Amino acid sequence: MELHPLEIELDDERTCVRAELLRDGRLAIGTRIRGGDGGWGAGELVILERRASVALAAWLAPLVEDAWTHIARRHQEAQLTTARDLYGVGAAAAERLAGDMEREIPYALRRRAMLLLANAIGPEMRERLVARLNAAPAAGEPELRRRLAEERDAFAYALAAAALYDALEQGAVGEAAEPDLS
């Protein structure tokens, strides 16, 4: 996997955050500070183990979802119109169009999406839900238990789908031979 370093210049224009994947799989996140001469000087540096990177990505997932949701909603009416034009009115039409659109996405990208989904609802999310369940008043417990069960199932489905998309991408799924009926 090759990732180019990420650099984000902050609003103050004096600070730059840089993230880089190290050769050994760890993630380096640091800051650089612009000096009076306009050059960049070293700031703080943190090295994260691979496991911590996965937890960080899961932690960031709700923020990423929130940032993109408003963009998706701007396109929602056009997509609902297309679904109505092609398949009729209602949830089934929208679901069918979404499925058709998903099939247009290459297997490698679907695999990535499923892995990111699994990571976003993975073990750390389960631990947070269990902690909330343990702290919740009895009235909120059934809802949290339902969410916990849904997320457990969704995690398993996302991981299984990622494995299948990977197999399809790698060409590891052969066509079934016709049975010999003679």
pLDDT band at 155 (very low <50, low <70, confident <90, very high): confident
Q: How many CB atoms lie within 10 A of CB 170?
A: 11
CA gap 156, 151 in Å, rounded: 9
Place of tokens 């389960």: 126
pLDDT in tens, 102-126: 889 999 999 989 888 888 877 666 6
- Which tens digits make up the pLDDT trace of 24-72? 989 999 999 998 898 889 899 999 998 888 888 888 888 888 888 888 8
Q: What is the pTM of this model?
A: 0.66
Contact 103, 161 (CB under 8 A): no
Report the alpha-carbon distance of residue 28 to residue 44 in Å, rounded: 10
SS3 of 85-132: the string is: HHHCCCHHHHHHHHHHHHHCCCHHHHHHHHHHHHHHCCHHHHHHHHHH
The bridge status of strand 27-34 relative to strand 6-9 is unpaired
